[in-house]
Amino acid sequence: MTDRGCSGAGLGLRSPHLREVLRDTPDVPWFEVHICNYLGGGLSRALLHQINERYPLSFHGVNLSLAGVEPLDAEYLKRLRVAVDEFNPALVSEHACFTTHAGQYFHDLMPVPFTDEAVRHLAGRVREVQDRLGRQILIENLSRYYSYDESHLSEGQFMAAVCDEADCGLLLDLNNAYVNQCNLGEDMTRFISELPLARVGEIHLAGFTEQDGMLIDTHGAPVCDAVWQSYADFCELRADVPCLIEWDANLPSFEVLLEQREMAQNIQDQAQTVGAERA
> Could you please report the per-residue DSSP string of 133-180?
HTS--EEEPPP-S---TT--S-HHHHHHHHHHHHT-EEEEEHHHHHHH
Three-state SS at 195: coil
Q: What is the mean pLDDT of the chain?
A: 93
Residue 105 confidence class, pLDDT cut points 50, 70, 90: low
| Spacing of C-alpha 206 from chain mean position | 10
Would you say residue 108 has pLDDT above 80? Answer: no
Q: What pLDDT score does 63 carry?
A: 84
225, 247, 235, 231: which is closest to 276 by C-alpha? 235
CATH class of this structure's domain 9-278: alpha beta
Indicate the domain borders of the chain: 9-278
Would you say residue 173 has pLDDT above 80? Answer: yes
Residue 103 confidence class, pLDDT cut points 50, 70, 90: low
Would you say residue 1 has pLDDT above 50? Answer: no
Give the predicted TM-score (pTM) of the model.
0.95
Residue 257's φ and ψ, nearest 5 degrees, are -65, -40
Read off the pLDDT of each residue in 129-133 and give the average, rounded to a whole number: 97
Q: What is the largest CA-CA distance in the chain?
A: 56
Q: What pLDDT score does 48 carry?
A: 94
Residue 81's φ and ψ, nearest 5 degrees, are -60, -40
- CA–CA separation, 30 and 90 (whole Å): 9
142, 199, 128: which is closest to 168 by C-alpha? 199
Least confident of 14-28, 103-117, 223-237: 103-117
Q: What pLDDT score does 74 carry?
A: 94
234, 235, 178: which is closest to 206 by C-alpha? 178
- CA–CA separation, 252 and 24 (whole Å): 17
Residue 7's φ and ψ, nearest 5 degrees, are -150, 155
Residue 102 confidence class, pLDDT cut points 50, 70, 90: low
Read off the pLDDT of each residue in 201-208 and give the average, rounded to a whole number: 98
- CA–CA separation, 121 and 165 (whole Å): 10
Residue 58 confidence class, pLDDT cut points 50, 70, 90: very high
